[in-house]
């Protein structure tokens, strides 16, 4: 009888124990999921590995925040551009540390945004060391450059012009040397890019959608006047033009074809219409004949002014 009296309490105890075990399991699962999707590999995966050193999504977003808003939009659509810079930065930092280069004493900062960070200072010191090894520009080269371009120097005295020329040539040589140095580092490095993680970062903002060459050909044969922006989504002035073209498209619905062409995706059109500067805005009449083109940014008022000249009201 005693055993029979204990069994209900034992059942209640076991039930509560079972519930606690289930609750603990749920808490553990939630913790694991939270880790995976926040600071873990799913929330902060490696975008690239450079000689065994990882570049994480969190670092990418940290660098993104330092850019101006307009360029942030470009990078969100083309994250590979910023990743390429981060890879170069990692390579330069690795090379600097390999040569034992450290940041100049007292030049680091603990306040973000107030001065270059330690890594930037190390890279700068490394590049300064490499640039100091370049041979100086010879006086003979300076004189030759001066004689070649003296008519374009606006009557500047030779001694002043030579100082300016020397500075320009030095900057050019340093830029070329930096490019060569990075190219060599990349050539000898082990670089692996996580394309899936990179693609997940890419976002095309609303209003930045572009049309294809097939869309262009159809619009050209539509019997309507047409305005075409031959540009690129990676070009900041082109992006500033997009909202204006969207408004023009809306204001002239049924009267006008408005197309936005990314020449990086449609290089044949860029060659066919001899695009030399982007954005290039080209106006066509109803027969498909080019009437006018504008190189560079074009305001809404200027676009409408040209359309009025074409009789599109």
Point out the residues that are catalytic. Answer: 235, 238
Sign of the CA dihedral running 34, 39, 45, 51:
negative
Helix (H) / strand (E) element for 242: namely helix 236-251
Question: Which single residue is written with the structure tokens 């640039």?
Answer: 131
Question: Cα 24 to the chain's mean position, in Å?
Answer: 45
Give Cβ neighbours of residue 113 (< 8 Å, ≥ 6 apart). Answer: 66
Contact yes or no for 10/18 (Cβ under 8 A) = no
Helix or strand or coil: residue 281? strand
| Alpha-carbon gap, residue 55 to 198, rounded angstroms | 11
Give Cβ neighbours of residue 141 (< 8 Å, ≥ 6 apart). Answer: 169
Using omega within 30 degrees of 0 as the cis cutoff, is the peptide bond preceding 279 cis? yes
Residue 50 burial (10 A CB sphere; 0-12, 13-18, 19+): buried
């Amino acid at each position: 009888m005693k055993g029979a009296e204990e069994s209900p309490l034992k059942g209640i105890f076991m039930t509560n124990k079972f519930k606690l075990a289930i609750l603990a399991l749920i808490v553990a699962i939630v913790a694991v999921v939270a880790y995976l999707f926040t600071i873990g590999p799913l929330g902060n995966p490696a975008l690239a590995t450079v000689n065994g050193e990882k570049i994480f999504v969190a670092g990418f977003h940290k660098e993104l925040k330092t850019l101006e808003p307009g360029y942030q939009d470009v990078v969100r659509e083309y994250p590979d551009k910023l990743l390429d810079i981060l890879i170069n930065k990692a390579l330069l930092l690795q090379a600097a540390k390999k040569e034992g280069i450290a940041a100049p004493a007292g030049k680091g900062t603990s306040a973000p945004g107030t001065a270059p960070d330690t890594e930037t200072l190390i890279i700068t010191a490394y590049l300064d060391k490499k640039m100091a090894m370049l041979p100086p520009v010879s006086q003979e080269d300076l004189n030759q450059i001066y004689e070649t371009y003296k008519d374009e120097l606006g009557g500047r005295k030779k001694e002043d012009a030579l100082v300016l020329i020397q500075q320009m040539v030095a900057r050019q040589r340093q830029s070329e040397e930096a490019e060569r140095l990075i190219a060599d580092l990349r050539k000898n490095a082990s670089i692996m890019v996580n394309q899936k993680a990179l693609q997940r970062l890419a976002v095309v903002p609303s209003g930045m959608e572009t049309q294809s060459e097939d869309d262009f050909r159809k619009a050209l044969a539509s019997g309507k006047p047409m305005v075409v922006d031959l540009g690129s989504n990676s070009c900041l002035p082109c992006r500033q033009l997009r909202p204006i073209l969207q408004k023009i498209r809306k204001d002239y619905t049924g009267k006008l074809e408005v197309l936005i062409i990314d020449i990086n995706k449609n290089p044949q059109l860029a060659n066919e219409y001899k695009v030399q500067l982007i954005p290039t805005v080209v106006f066509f009449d109803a027969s498909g004949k080019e009437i006018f083109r504008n190189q560079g940014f074009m305001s809404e008022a200027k676009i409408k002014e040209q359309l009025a000249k074409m009789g599109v009201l």
